[in-house]
Amino acid sequence: MMGKKSIETLVGLFVLLGIAGLVFLALKAANLASFATGETYTLEARFDNIGGLKVRAPVRSAGVTIGRIASISFDPQTYQGVVKLQVERGLEFPRDTSAKILTSGLLGDQYIGLEPGADEKMLHDGDTIRQTQSAVVLENLIGQFINSRAAEAGSVGAAAGGSAASK
């Protein structure tokens, strides 16, 4: 039979392991724990609308995480969001690479996707990605859909009313 001290020690150890597991999961879920801390270089991209993009969100190319978002700021001269990307050193992209704000799944977190171009010259530390595509905002899509349906209903009603008046 185990002594009272050894049972208390095992319970305490179990509780500590549980707390450590919860901290690990919380850091992973918040994208705060970057366990791969390799050398990076900085790129900049400007967007008209960054949507729900957050600092520390992934930067991906071909679905593979190749970096993180370092900072997001607002440029008062151009009225654009300025996003600084930290990309793994050793991964070079052509100068005509495009950056798009994409969403994981239907309603998941947003990230930046890089699509390499065909230029022979490469982007270097501090360069700006010129071709960007802003975030797709779900509310704007719904609004456009409702407006197009309303316009179709209005034109169908006007056409029906116009033909009845001519008889």
How do residues 91-120 score in pLDDT, each as one tens digit?
999 999 999 999 887 677 889 999 999 989
pTM reported for the whole predicted model: 0.65
Task: Read off φ and ψ for residue 67, nearest 5 degrees.
Answer: 175, -170
Contacts of 78 (CB under 8 A, 6+ apart): 46
How do residues 13-56 score in pLDDT, each as one tens digit?
999 999 999 988 887 776 555 545 578 999 999 999 998 899 99
Residue with structure tokens 């407006």?
147
